[in-house]
Amino acid sequence: MPHNSSNDNYRPSFDVCILGAGFGGSLLAWILAKQGRRVLLLDRGQHPRFAIGESSTPVGNMTLRRLAAEYSMPELLALSRYGTWKETFPDLGVGCKRGFSYFFHTASQPFCTDSEHSGELLVAANANDATADTHWVRADIDAWLCQQARLAGAVVRERTIVTDLARDNQWCLQLSTHENDAGPVADSIRADYLVDATGGAAATSPWLPIQNVRTRMTTNSRALFAHFSHVGDWTKLMSDFGYSVKDHPFDCDQAAQHHVIDEGWLWALRFSHNLASIGFMFDCHPRSGRVSNIQLDSTDPADLWRSMLAKYPALQSMLSDARIVAPTTGIQLSKRIQTRWAPCAGDGWALLPSTAGFVDPLHSTGIAHTLLGVERLTKRLLQPSCTDAAASEWSQRYTRVVDAELSMIDQLVQLCYLTRHEPIRFTSSVMLYFAAVTSYERQANKGPAATQPAFLLAKNSDWCHVVSDICQRAKAHASGSACVSAVEFENVVRRQIAAFNVAGLCDPDAHRMYRFTVAPD
């Protein structure tokens, strides 16, 4: 018998079953249900819940605006800018993101920069707070999106796991739901199409014809993180240290703030209401890393946190009064965060990009990539009819593009890890990401979703050649086989990205202060 539900729209057979009620799965369920599809949204957990992966970008917000226009969803338009988010949804936690800021630290030394900003890099993405991008308090936005899916008619079942999965003319899912702590209740449902939005866990992996292909990833990193209150303002600390911030194109705390250190980097994302997401990323790659897994696993996370702050006095100053807010279990230390599964789609099923793979938070690619996947899957699942041949061709094309995008993100991230020990070399490496994303933004604005280029130009052969060549040069320098100076590397990057440099990057006269890079709407 099917599971009983108070939702009058419940049916034991669905057009689409989505596993995972994070923001990607919930948004997809909401759009499909609003368009009249019978949708079941399953999650093993329960909202609200702590999550990281919080920093949006112009690409993510452009995608929200396209979805809002395509499916008459003004709520998504409001969420696409900081100003309208705050006006429309004041109770949904959010932070103002004007761009990306980077600061370089040396162990046991005070923070140091100069009038040329040699210890800094700021890249603005928008002109003011009203049009700014956003940091998402995931506990709020994930729960809200899930509720919108429910209100649109999707059946939402939390605290539910899949115990078996098979396919004949439809998918048959055996489910186990925990209700009111009374023990599990077993039942089954059927669905025409299956979407795995569970993230790197890939809950469908025991049954779908997918393989764990994490060995394809070159980035190898781990995270130490929590949410805090009473985090100090880096802008004020800069002044306290005797450095002027008058050249900064925006308040560097209203950013995806990166503090680059020997071990990797620290992120700082500030939300409203005295809340911040703070986390260390440790580079564990055998070539570029200076931290071993044994070293990390042998230390209590709280002790590891304290030891890292003690090593970097400026970070200690910023976080000296910080208090943990979430999760209730305290500071979290992840295992290796990279995940990758392939293929990404097949006969009657697909993985959201967040399930197909995850690289690293360095370039804030996660939200944007997931939203692009939602856009692509929505188009596929709202087609009035689809022959077997057309469905197969779509699955192969989707797999190729998502796989290429994950490979591109991996290369761009690992390049920065490899070069982070020298600010000039790291800054040049970051320019590849900004060249790719600003070129993508301008191309994506020119046409409908069906003609969108691959994220970060991942299918552009000329761009792929540029990235591959620069990555090889960085590896050769790191290994000692072909050493070049940081200035020479900077010049090589400037020349090679020239055809894709639509935002005035690599400009010596900017002194690492870039005032506006995003494409106009």
Q: Percent of the chain scored above 90 by pLDDT?
A: 88
Contact between 341 and 210 under an 8 Å Cβ cutoff? The reply is: yes
CATH T-level fold of 13-88+137-200? FAD/NAD(P)-binding domain (3.50.50)
pLDDT on residue 448: 65
What are the extents of the domains in the chain?
Answer: 13-88+137-200, 95-134+218-333, 417-514
502 alpha-carbon distance from chain centroid: 23
Interatomic CA distance for residues 424 and 415, integer angstroms: 13
Long-range CB contacts (< 8 A, 24+ apart) of 517-520? 517/99, 517/123, 517/124, 517/125, 517/434, 517/438, 518/58, 518/125, 518/126, 518/438, 518/441, 519/58, 519/62, 519/438, 519/441, 519/442, 519/444, 519/445, 520/445
DSSP structural state of residue 194: E
507 alpha-carbon distance from chain centroid: 28
Whether residue 8 is predicted with pLDDT greater than 50 in this model: the reply is no
Bridge partners (DSSP) listed for residue 489: none
pLDDT on residue 1: 30
Bridge partners (DSSP) listed for residue 282: 222, 264
The CATH code for residues 95-134+218-333 is: 3.30.9.100
pTM score, two decimals? 0.95
pLDDT on residue 3: 40
Bridge partners (DSSP) listed for residue 18: 41, 195
Categorize the per-residue pLDDT at 129 as very low, low, confident or very high, splitting at 50, 70 and 90.
very high
The string of DSSP letters for 45-81 reads: S-SS------B--HHHHHHHHHHHHHTT-HHHHHHTS
List, for residues 262-318, the tens digit of each pLDDT value: 999 999 999 998 999 999 999 999 888 878 777 898 899 999 999 999 999 999 999
Q: What share of the chain is helix, strand, coil (3-state, %, to 5)?
A: 40, 20, 40
Residue 424 has φ and ψ, to the nearest 5°, of: -65, -45
Interatomic CA distance for residues 452 and 439, integer angstroms: 12
DSSP structural state of residue 226: E
3-class DSSP state of 191? strand
List, for residues 422-458, the tens digit of each pLDDT value: 999 999 999 999 999 999 999 998 766 557 799 999 9
**Angle at which helices 486-496 and 461-479 cross, to 10°:** 170
